[in-house]
Structure 1
Amino acid sequence: MADIEVTSACEDGYTVESVINGEWELIVDALSNDGPSPNEVLAADYASCYIPALRVAAGKYNYDDIGEVEIEVAADLDEDDDLESIAFDVEVEASLGDEEQDIVELAEDICHVHSALTEELHADISIESGV
């Protein structure tokens, strides 16, 4: 048995319904009419992976309670609607002190989506902590 099992189906058009591990439903629409597009899902997934990775990284530097973390994602597409760039503006409630950049880099190493993307699509991350 695989670690992740997804069943995806499309009856007509460009809307795909997926069931992940027999439990979670996800609707993705290439045209963004009935749900987010695959690129929009990827951008959200990247941020959704990076936030817990940032929390783990902060914990390794003894910042155990960093409060709310919010990411504004900006992704640009090329003329073929392929992802061209991704940027994160990260706001962290607690101050991460002098270790801020080290925590950002460790979080990149921990984030599975970051690891799965080509280097050209790694997010350009700016962070502001203690907000």
Structure 2
Amino acid sequence: MSDIETSTVSEEGYASTSQVGEFELSIDALDEAGPNPNAVLVADYAACFLPAFRVGGQKEGVDDLGKIQIDAEADLDDGDDLSAIRFTMHVEADLSDEEFAAIVERAEGICHVHAALKPELHASIDVHGNAF
């Protein structure tokens, strides 16, 4: 038995609908009926990294980071493959650069999407505290 099972269907064209448990996700290579697969991967990476950052904060002794926002950017090469990912993180907590760096390092070890990506696609991460 698998740990994760999904079903993806395309009736025509380049759009598809993926069933993930009780949730449906529309993805479209042309960005018409939903985000394209690369955009979904970048958003998924950010959605995984954010809670990993919170857990990393807890492991570093910071239990309340407050509101966190990740603005993600990605570059594509000539073949439309992802070539770089960058996160700019805005964190309500006012911590030092060293404290944020320690939390980022912990989060990189916790985030499953980070672990699944080839190293050259690991996000470059800038964190800005006292952001809200």
Instruction: Quote the residue 2:3 is aligned against.
Output: 3
In the TM superposition, what whole-angstrom CA distance separates every residue of 1:13-41 from its partner, at most 9, and x where no partner exists? 000111012x1101100010100000000
Instruction: Quote the residue 2:88 is aligned against.
Output: 89
What is the one-letter code of the residue matched to 1:44? A
Contact 2:26 2:34 survives alignment (8 Å): yes
Instruction: Quote the residue 1:108 is aligned against.
Output: 108
Work out the CA distance in 2 between the residues paired with 1:96 and 1:36: 34
Structure 2: state its 5+ residue gaps: none
- Under a length normalisation based on structure 2, what TM-score does the superposition of the two structures give? 0.95
Cα drift, residue 96 of structure 1: 2.9
Cα drift, residue 99 of structure 1: 1.8
The 10-residue stretch of structure 1 (26-35 or 95-104) with the greater mean CA deviation from structure 2: 95-104
Instruction: Quote the residue 2:72 is aligned against.
Output: 73
Question: In the TM superposition, what are the counterparts of 1:1-131 in structure 2 within 5 Å?
Answer: 1-21=1-21, 23-97=22-96, 98-131=98-131
Contact 1:58 1:96 survives alignment (8 Å): no
Contact 2:72 2:86 survives alignment (8 Å): yes
Work out the CA distance in 2 between the residues paired with 1:75 and 1:46: 11
Secondary structure of 1:27's match?
Answer: strand
What is the one-letter code of the residue matched to 1:2? S
Contact 1:75 1:84 survives alignment (8 Å): yes
- Under a length normalisation based on structure 1, what TM-score does the superposition of the two structures give? 0.96
Work out the CA distance in 1 between the residues paired with 2:122 and 2:94: 24
- Poorly superposed stretches of 4+, deviation over 4 Å: none
Aligned length: 130
Structure 1: state its 5+ residue gaps: none
Cα drift, residue 46 of structure 1: 0.5
Q: CA RMSD in A?
A: 0.9
In the TM superposition, what whole-angstrom CA distance separates every residue of 1:77-112 from its partner, at most 9, and x where no partner exists? 011110010000011101233421111111011000
